[in-house]
Structure 1
Amino acid sequence: MIDEFCAAALCVLQLEALDRWEETARSVYEIFDKDGNRAIMIDELASVSNKI
């Protein structure tokens, strides 16, 4: 799922081509938005990126 979300950052059409893309995007967004403030901060992005 994270790969698809990252690809969508480059090209939204790649994400939209997936079945249930909205559910996938929402799920992965929640992984990145650690503090729940609806903004993905650099440190949140880095913490997830280090786990990929």
Structure 2
Amino acid sequence: MKKKRTAYQAEIDHIPTKEIHLNVNYLQPGKYVLKIMYKNKVIKKTTFKK
């Protein structure tokens, strides 16, 4: 049985500070890829497992 892949995407209008917090407590267990983009180019890519 194949696992169903789900893509999550979010856009932030205005960030009052220069910090971004990602709370992984609410994510389902699995492997995730975090991509940081600037001008439609990936500048940092990291993977993590919950």
TM-score over 0.5 (shorter chain): no
More helix by share: 1
Larger of the two Rg values belongs to structure: 2
| Higher normalized contact order (CA 8 Å, seq sep 6+, divided by chain length) | 2
**Scaled by the length of structure 1, what TM-score is found?**
0.22
TM-score by length of 2: 0.23
